[in-house]
Structure 1
Amino acid sequence: MKDVYLLSGFLGSGKTTLLANMIGHFKEQGLKPAVIMNELGELNFDSQAVEEGVPLKEMLNGCICCSGSEKTEAQIQTLLAEAVFDVLLIETTGAAHPVEALDAVYSPLFAEELNIKGIVTVADSKRWLTRNDMSPQSRSLFLEQIRHAHLLLINKSDLLSDTELATATFEIQGINEYAPILQTTNAKVPLKMLQEMQATARPDYIEKADLGKQLHLSSRLVDFTGLAFTQQEIEDWLRTLPTTIYRMKGYIPIKGNSKPMLFQYAYGLTQWMPEYVKMAPKLVIIGDQVNDISIIGKA
């Protein structure tokens, strides 16, 4: 499986510097990184930070978390088919919500080939202290990027006094009690902290306390091979799930249908569509503590 890291944070927080640092880390370990960079505009000036020889896909004029979701899936499929790499680094735009970004990169079509290590959020420490000057929408997104991170970098710490840095660290830790926090300058993070991240739940894995925290926002792949349900049975099961299950997408075998149906779920709303090609009956679930929920048809 190929490890996947998502880099999150506002424009100017230090995501691209982090990306360059991570590329260097992995290359020193003899691993081959590949990169997807997302930019809202028509030009991606940050792509020059990616070293020559590293497979790179650029997504322009769109956010990875909205209209760019299908494009992201296509870019990943292309990389898997055409490039040789061990680690995939995805730098999201500053407008990307972490849940939607995770949703965009975890498709049932290639879920078994990817190991989502998690979201590294780069928080600009100086911006944090002046967050009340931001628009309500921007401030809300800033908080969401912090709340859903698996690793938090309080970056540009050299620009703050000791008291300011302590205040920022304490307040950010209060937003996300799960993620390890690292005070950084130039987004420098030890490779070991990156390697210890884990946001892909394993059905056969008994969680230890230390990793259990890492799985607060996580993904789980469910295989329905050999099973079949009615749509009503699925809808009844969905009503038993906690509100912390945010997204599902995949192909569910329905009784009386020769091919599994395409199924999507988002914040309580479901969508069913007939599928004319026989797809593998697999479902991706994204939410908080997804390994704790019971799965229909599974003991």
Structure 2
Amino acid sequence: MRKMVPPSDSPRSRPPVTVLSGFLGAGKTTLLRHLLGQAEGRRWAAIVNDVAAINIDAALVAAAGAQRVVPLGNGCVCCTVRDELAETLAELAATGDYAHVFVEATGVADPRSIVRLFTRTNPFGRKLDDFAQLSALVTVVDARQFEVEERKSRDGRKRAASGVKPVFDLMLEQVECADVVVLNKCDVATAEAVRRVEALVRAVNARAEIWRVAQGRVAAAEVVGRVRFQADVTPGAAEWVRLLGGAARHAAVRTGPAVAGRHEAAFGITSFVYEERRAFAEEKLRAWFEAALPEGLLRAKGFFWVRERAADMGFASVAGGAARLEFIGTWAAALRERGVVTDAEIPPSTRERWAEPHGDRRQELVFIGVTLPEAEIRAGLAACLV
């Protein structure tokens, strides 16, 4: 990583940046070309990422109206070419020549990784926010494709192999971390399908603005007109994050409609949080996730602990019918028991969830779905307890 040069103090410093995410074929390039075609002399730049060596999308965008198009190939901006993205944005900002910068991420990019470029300092003590302002995370969703993948994941009952993320899981993550969700290709999807997809999107991210469009046709003024990204809000906009970490900590207000909206009510979308302090038996828990997930489940995420690996913090993720159970760290209680940390070194946020004799070990799982059989799910999980 090269050391980024600080921008000047001119009014044109820190240009706003709009990041376009969305799964393969959702219509990101079409949307970007349509936006750039409305530049009308304004100096806009575009950075187009492609995992392939030949960046076809950059070639298409180059003729659309941007003053400058920078291709980033052979990797994804959320992982292998993150440094190149940061350096490119810093260099564009340093020129003071561009009033807005668009970044088209690959179809497999996780927007949260791009957010971290703006909010976390690099080894030189700088962060991308010093150079450019993240204006909005925009996720493009193919309305037909989203519904197909959701039904395929749910009806097919396919389980993700270890380390392999199902397509629908990635699509949900791109929706969950978004300020704006563009429901694209609404002209080729049925009205009922569009309504259902919008309800599903709101169920997992109630904060995002949702725009129904056809052929990527969005007025540029809607995108460049105001800053929508909030560093302390956008990354945690996912409904499962809100339910696990929000201010509402009592079970009485943590169950019921996932989002109080007309579309969600019409499709019967609800959510609840399963909480327990006793340990699961790992074999029983994995068997339940493998065979007993209800058909209406859209999303489940959260923490768990099992007797066989009492020191290890478990994390469960379900998208439709595909479940992943993995271990992501060590419980603070286990670190204290080993003498690695003292009581005084346990963070306040962990202390808030502390309860003897197990400390921060807990079962805390959010379930979001359509007409969820809550009692059945709770009974199934209870049967997995030691």
* TM bin (shorter chain): 0.5 to 0.7
**Length-normalised TM-score, structure 1:** 0.64
SS of aligned partner of 1:13: coil
Give yes or no for the alignment of 1:63 onto 2:92. no
Give the match's secondary structure for 2:42.
Answer: coil
Distance 2:68 2:80 in 1: 23
Q: Give yes or no for contact 1:32–1:84 (8 Å, CA) kept in 2.
A: yes
Q: What's 1:49 paired with?
A: 60
Tell me, what secondary structure is at the counterpart of 2:108? coil
Equivalent residue letter for 2:117: A
Shift of 1:105: 5.0
Return the offset for 1:78.
2.6
Match of 1:168 in 2: 197
Q: Give, as a single letter, the amino acid of the residue that structure 2 aligns with 1:35.
A: A
The 5 A counterparts of 1:212-227 are 215-217=233-235
Aligned partner (choices 229, 239, 244) of residue 199 of structure 1: 229
Give the conservation status (yes or no) of the 8 Å contact 2:58–2:70.
Answer: no
Q: Distance in 1 between matches of 2:133 and 2:178?
A: 16
| Aligned residue in 2 for 1:113 | 131
Cα gap change, 1:18 to 1:237, in 2 (>3 Å): farther
Is 2:197 aligned against 1:186?
no
SS at 1:217's partner residue? helix
The alignment's C-alpha RMSD in Å is 2.5
1:166-194 deviations in Å (ceiling 9; x for gaps)? 11111221111001111110112233432
User: For residues 237 and 158 of structure 1, what CA distance do their matches in structure 2 show?
Assistant: 56
Please tell me the residue identity of whatever aligns with 2:29.
T
How far apart are the structure 2 equivalents of 1:183 and 1:39?
Answer: 26
Gaps of 5+ in 2: 1-13, 237-343, 351-386
**Farther-moved stretch of structure 1 (80-89 vs 156-165):** 80-89
Matches within 5 A, 1:142-157: 142-157=171-186
Matching residue within 39, 46, 50 for 2:50: 39
Give secondary structure in 2 for the equivalent of 1:152. Answer: strand
For the residue of structure 2 that corresponds to 1:127, the secondary structure is helix
SS of match in other structure, 1:64: coil
- Asked if the contact 2:46/2:69 (under 8 Å) is kept, the reply is yes
CA deviation profile, 1:218-247 (whole Å, cap 9, x unmatched)? 8xxxxxxxxxxxxxxxxx8993458xxxxx
Q: Is the 8 A contact 1:55 1:83 kept in 2?
A: no
Which residue of the partner structure matches residue 336 of structure 2? none
Q: Secondary structure at the match of 1:4?
A: strand
Structure 2 CA distance, aligned partners of 1:110 and 1:163? 42
From 83, 94, 101, the counterpart of 1:88: 101
What residue number does 1:239 align with?
347
Q: 2:146 aligns with which of 123, 128, 149?
A: 128
Q: Which amino acid aligns with 1:104?
A: L
CA contact (8 A) 2:18 2:101 kept: yes
Match of 2:170 in 1: 141
State the TM-score, normalizing by the size of structure 2.
Answer: 0.50
* Maintained 8 Å contact 1:72/1:105: no
Structure 1 distance, partners of 2:24, 2:346, is: 37
SS at match of 1:6: strand
Partner Cα distance (2:178, 2:345) in 1: 28
Match of 2:92 among 79, 91, 109: 79
Amino acid at match of 2:200: E
Letter in 1 for 2:213: T
Identity over aligned pairs, percent: 24
Q: Structure 1 residues 17, 105: closer, same or farther in 2, change over 3 A?
A: farther
Greater Rg over alpha carbons, structure: 2
Question: Matched residue of 1:159: which SS?
Answer: coil
Distance 1:167 1:41 in 2: 34
Question: What is the CA–CA distance in structure 1 between the aligned matches of 2:29 and 2:346, rounded to whole Å?
Answer: 39
Count of residue pairs the alignment pairs up: 211
Q: Deviations over 1:70-117 (max 9, x none)?
A: 111121223234572110100000111110022235563442332211
Gapped runs of 5+ residues in structure 1? 202-211, 219-235, 243-299
> How far, CA to CA, are the matches of 2:213 and 2:105 in structure 1?
20
